[in-house]
Structure 1
Amino acid sequence: MSEDLDLILADTEDTMRKGINHLESELGKIRAGKASPAMLDGITVEYYGAPTPIAQVANVSVLDARTLSIQPWEKNMVQPIERAIMAANIGVTPQNDGVIIRIFMPPLTEERRKELFKRASAEGEQSKVAIRNVRRDAIEQVKKLQKDGMSEDAAKDAEKTVQDLTDKFIALVDKHLAAKEKEMMAV
């Protein structure tokens, strides 16, 4: 019975951690006025008939705080990469010199910062909902174990442990959101 409980708790923590990892990757895609290669995550380009992430067909690097450089490994990929970035509508216009694509980050306006923070907050809220759903599922599993013969005290302890995990991960979400807000609001 105890090993079932340990498995439930380990699985709960692992799933909540995956939710935090997802939040981190989503927040990384939201630009905060600084150039970041993570902005291009999720943008694919047609490469020999297959949709391929830009990072797998070019070297993406940060030249300075506001400039991103994309150097395709094959010269014929410059135009398709530029078109893919334009189609992704990430709020920037790529500059192409025939060899390298540069993306200059314009400074964020106050209105745009607030809009981006709303998007970040929505991602945080989705993460909190996912974490609470994991908590609900774990508590249901604990109650099922209790029906199968686990003591009431052990079930209450397990539920408290699940709640503690939930609180810990929700605090982590808040911490990530606060850091992202600070990054966005810095001029």
Structure 2
Amino acid sequence: MKVTETGLPGVLLIEPRIFGDARGAFWETWNAERYAEAGLPTAFVQDNVSRSSRGVLRGLHLQHPQAQGKLVQVLQGEVFDVAVDLRRGSSHFGRWVGATLTGEQGEQLWVPPGFHHGFCVLSETVIFSYKCTDFYAPQTEVGILWNDPEIGIDWPVEDPILSDKDVALPRLAELPQERLPSIQDYAVA
């Protein structure tokens, strides 16, 4: 597998080694030993799968406290996946990175605890998988509006399909700063 640093410390793009022939393809999606060697955690406690249609945008979400690191990948289809550093005190505060993830190529994105995460669907449908380092705790959720101009994510959709919850999320300027994690809470190597 190939592990590439992104423009945000700790956020990693992982590309598997794919073995293909006339029958199709095979690749490894998880190997604790190999991922530990790459500096990724190996203690995941919850796996999630979502299915969405073209134009759906999920995010931007995180949990604080009880943050979840997320190893995300597309099992079928294609998404534009985003991680945002909104940790108070971070020299990268307000910056984001995005990557296209596909079921065909098997790319994964590691989103460390303390980073906001979201994605939008580019294919007709998508099946999206998350490996999480902590359990879902809705009482600790902190979300930011997907199109907050202060963050300025260059989403490849203009009028996405959003949940009622995501439509009502605040802009960064409207969120009390104590609701955001700090760099001390979630420092990354």
TM-score normalised by the shorter chain: which range applies? Answer: under 0.3
Give the helix-richer structure, 1 or 2.
Answer: 1
When the two structures are superposed, what TM-score results if normalisation uses the length of structure 2?
A: 0.20
Give the strand-richer structure, 1 or 2.
Answer: 2
When the two structures are superposed, what TM-score results if normalisation uses the length of structure 1?
A: 0.20
| Higher relative contact order, chain-length normalized (CA < 8 Å, sep 6+) | 2
